[in-house]
Structure 1
Amino acid sequence: MSLDDRKLDVLRAIVEDYVATQEPVGSKALVERHQLGVSPATVRNDMAVLEEEGYIRQPHTSAGRVPTDRGYRLFVDRLSRVKPLSPAERRAIERFLAGALDLDDVVHRTVRLLAQLTRQVAVVQYPSLSRSSVRHLELVPISTTRLMLVMIADTGRVEQRLVELPAPIHVDTVTDLRRMVNEKLVGKRLSDTPPLVQAMVDEVSPDDRNTMATLATVLLEALVERHDERIALAGRANLTRGGLLDFQGSLRPILEALEEEVILLKLLGEVDADTLRIRIGDENEIDNLRSTSVVSTGYGPGSTIVGGLGVLGPTRMDYPGTIATVRAVARYVGDLLGNN
């Protein structure tokens, strides 16, 4: 059955009170604290229907009720107002992130900020090279047979590789190669570069072909062959005050899951900028995280998504506040990368 507006109001009030107090919620408290406009007896009837439908449950013998995963899901789906961040919070986010020195610093500041603002565990994926474009390529001669290749992506990510050349090379040739690789590759998506790199080997003069072939191998390593997507994590200590112990008896399974980068990447999932993903309790495909909720989204410059970020906490979390914070931080990080 679909719930009428009054029962939805009762559910919303139960969720808000339980998140605020961590105590099961009774009908008397609901009538006192919320302007529901009905008698305690009506609220009790509504709570009986909500319980029957699986949106709330009665823990042990307490007179109060707590939301179920299904109740939280309905609450989130019907969320009409996301708690706006205060001007002070917005300024704090902007100031904190604007002080970042480089990409590593951006990621570490972002993950710490998310953990502090939401009081949950925060997860930030480093910008993925596969979704980035080439901003600049530098070739630095170290000796006549050795070059340093530096690749800078539009997301601020930097890759460095040493190139051991098959024969000594003149400094003018290095200049020519530098100009060529930048002309061919700057602005191109990293995933689109392999055929362009391969074509350059055929385009250089026969005398430089061996050198270019060696450089091409290292270029492809820097541009394409990267399998280790990195993740930053902060706020594990927040789990201890999240009420998760009530259901688990132990935090160990959750902490163990958070040690696995593969799991963290799966948590963030396939994210994009316009979509905020909220997985509540049993909606998580990872067994050890079924007592938690995850709120995640994508971030990147403009409409380009280069990574994901989000928070993990108990199902009893402040969803309106968490959603607003995750969205705002993702937007600021994207703007920061776009302005770099």
Structure 2
Amino acid sequence: MVSARGLEVLRAIVQDFVETREPVGSKSIVDRHAFGVSAATIRNDMALLEDEDLIEAPHTSSGRVPTDKGYRVFVDHLAEVRPLSPAQRTAIASFLEAPGDLDDLMVRTVRALTQLTGQVAIVQYPSFAQAHVSHVELVGLDTGRMLVVLVTDTGRVSQRLVFLPHDPAEEDIFRMRTAIADLTVGRPIRDGAQAIADRLAAASDARAPHEALVDVIAMVVAEELEEFRQDRLVMAGTANLARRESDFRGSIYPLLEAIEEQVTLMRLMGEMVADEHGLAASIGRENEPFGLAEASVVAGEYDASGARARVGVLGPTRMDYPSNLASVRAVARYLSRLLEEDENAR
């Protein structure tokens, strides 16, 4: 059983190790923190922490460093999520100000978060499985090219360039737009995709030329709607892993593979258990089932038209958890507010 002072010693060890990258000894704790006891007493507290597998010696005659279990106790019981400074809040507002669309907002979000934390930043797209198609636009360009634009009621915008076998007349474009809108607008994405599938299944060679063009456009729209239903991540700051490679006990290649594949990170973020504030942390060996035992993930939840998704950071276990939790919480709240304002404006 660790005493209250022992837990405060753990807090001091975590904070000093994160700051200095050096193992922490009893003398440095006495010098840097106002415990009001001798170094010998601190050594006894450290021995108890070591018995509980909360700290360890990286080599003989060294100070102590936190274990993954020690970081977990620190995050659960000792880490105070500090408010961001006015400068940090201004930076978030500046990064996320007046995004062009949802895709732009997602990119800006991870850029802001990686700037704040120095870690790899991750944001999940909100689930669009229940979103409705709110608008379809077909824009004729030149030499058989057409821009197909889809918009959902959750703010997702898709633009796809389509090559047609011939240039349609204006009245054909109008009929094509009307046909696609009848199949999709006002319907959930899943229903719109099914309506298109039913149309294509009933296609015949006897259709009018403009109907054949509708089928071409419909196939493209179906592909875009299917992509809307896919879980997606946006990330930034991968180069930070290389700069912090010395903070990892082993190879960073599993992390790079997870970033490239995305599926592993989506599973991990989906299974993290959040606290009452919507914050979650998965630390070190807790990530072993995902092949990421060398890393920690800190995440917060944001709301997009009732759909919950996560934004977070990935980095070494030796990270500044209070600051990263504060940054994730602030960005998640700002993201929720922006999406709510956008929803109210529609």
Tell me the TM-score normalized by structure 1.
Answer: 0.79
| CA distance in 2 between partners of 1:310 and 1:131 (Å) | 24
CA shift in 2, pair 1:149/1:258, >3 Å: closer
The answer as to whether partners of 2:129 and 2:229 remain within 8 angstroms in 1 is no
> Residue in 2 aligned with 1:265?
266
What SS is found at the alignment partner of 1:232? strand
Residue 297 of structure 2 aligns to a residue whose secondary structure is: strand
Matched, 1:254 2:255: yes
Aligned residues: 333
Look up the match of 2:297. 294
Per the alignment, do residues 258 and 178 of structure 1 end up closer, same or farther by CA in structure 2, a change over 3 Å counting? Answer: closer
Matched, 1:85 2:88: no
Give unpaired runs (5+ residues) of structure 1: none
More moved, 3-12 vs 173-182: 173-182
1:113 Cα offset (Å): 1.8
| Percent sequence identity over aligned pairs | 45
1:251–1:174 Cα change, 3 Å: closer
The CA deviation at 1:290 is 1.2
SS at match of 1:59: coil
Q: Give 1:175 shift.
A: 4.6
Secondary structure at the counterpart of residue 84 of structure 2: coil
Contiguous gaps of at least 5 residues in structure 2: none
The residue identity in structure 2 corresponding to 1:301 is A
In 1, the alpha carbon distance for the partners of 2:61 and 2:326 equals 33
Q: Which amino acid aligns with 1:110?
A: T
In 1, the alpha carbon distance for the partners of 2:239 and 2:167 equals 55
Deviations 1:138-192 (A, max 9, x none): 244569x996542112233324364969x99885676577567657755544235
**Contact 2:248-2:294 at 8 Å conserved across structures:** no
Note if contact 2:101-2:155 (Cα within 8 Å) is conserved in structure 1: no
Structure 2 CA distance for aligned equivalents of residues 303 and 245 of structure 1: 38
SS in 2 for 1:308: strand
Name the residue aligned to 1:337.
Answer: 339
Q: Which amino acid aligns with 1:318?
A: D
Paired with 2:133 and 2:69, the residues of 1 have a C-alpha distance of: 45
- Any conservation in 1 of the 2:272–2:282 contact (CA below 8 Å)? no
Kindly report which structure 2 residues correspond to 1:1-150, keeping only aligned pairs within 5 A, or say none. Answer: 1=1, 3-79=2-78, 81-130=80-129, 132-140=131-139, 148-150=147-149
- In 2, Cα distance between equivalents of 1:339 and 1:183: 29
* CA-based RMSD: 3.7
The verdict on how the C-alpha distance between 1:246 and 1:147 changes in structure 2, with shifts beyond 3 A counting, is closer
Separation in 2 of the partners of 1:215 and 1:240?
Answer: 44
Q: Secondary structure at the match of 1:279?
A: strand
What amino acid is the match of 1:14?
I
- Structure 1 residues 96 and 287: CA distance shift in structure 2, 3 A: closer
- Relative distance call for 1:137 and 1:79 in structure 2 (3 A) is farther
- Inter-CA distance 328–187: structure 2 relative to 1 (3 Å threshold): farther
1:100-133 deviation per Cα after TM superposition (whole angstroms, max 9, x unaligned): 3344432332222211210112223445543543
The change in CA–CA distance for 1:189 and 1:91 in structure 2 (over 3 A counts) is: farther
Deviation for aligned residue 1:243: 5.9
Cross-structure match for 1:158: 158
Counterpart of 1:308, as a letter, is R
2:304 is paired with a residue whose SS is coil
**Partner secondary structure for residue 135 of structure 1:** strand
SS at match of 1:269: helix
Task: Give yes or no for contact 1:121–1:235 (8 Å, CA) kept in 2.
Answer: yes
Distance in 2 (alpha carbons) for counterparts of 1:194 and 1:258: 30
| Cα separation, 2, equivalents of 1:319 and 1:263 | 22
Amino acid at match of 2:334: Y
Kindly state the Cα deviation for residue 211 of structure 1 after the two structures are TM-superposed: 7.7
Cα contact 2:25–2:63 (8 A) shared by 1: yes
